[in-house]
């Protein structure tokens, strides 16, 4: 339970920080930057799935300093190629 509360507090702080920006793109980028730095991640992706073409696009990416972005390479990725990412994300969040 303590872990859930801790994540909720961090998410709330990230949302508050994001609301200091004016456009949705700026807010999303600030949210993932804040969250990525707080948890010590080297990168955070946001993908948007398209069931019609069975693909996904990396629409937002935050990278820690010195990490090379992959957003340009991660467009129209077949869902079968990355379905293990979804499983991995669920396991890590537990």
For the stretch 21-39, pLDDT in tens is: 999 999 999 999 998 998 8
- What six digits make up the tokens of 14? 């990230």
* Collapsed DSSP state (helix, strand, coil) of residue 60: strand
- Cα separation, 21 vs 7, in Å, equals 22
DSSP 4-24: HHHHHHHHHHHHHHHTTSSSH
The pTM assigned to this predicted structure is: 0.78
Q: Is the pLDDT of residue 51 over 90?
A: no
β partners of residue 49: 56
Q: Helices in the chain by DSSP H: which ranges?
A: 2-18, 24-39, 79-93
- Cα separation, 49 vs 89, in Å, equals 16
Q: Is the pLDDT of residue 11 over 90?
A: no
């Amino acid at each position: 339970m303590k872990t859930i509360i801790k994540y909720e507090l961090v998410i709330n702080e990230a949302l508050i920080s994001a609301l200091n920006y004016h456009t949705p793109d700026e807010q999303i980028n600030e949210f993932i930057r804040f969250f990525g730095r707080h948890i010590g991640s080297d990168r955070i992706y946001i993908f948007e799935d398209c069931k019609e073409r069975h693909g996904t696009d990396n629409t937002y990416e935050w990278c820690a300093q010195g990490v090379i972005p992959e957003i340009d390479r991660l467009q129209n990725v077949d869902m079968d190629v990355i379905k293990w990412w979804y499983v991995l994300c669920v396991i890590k969040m537990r």
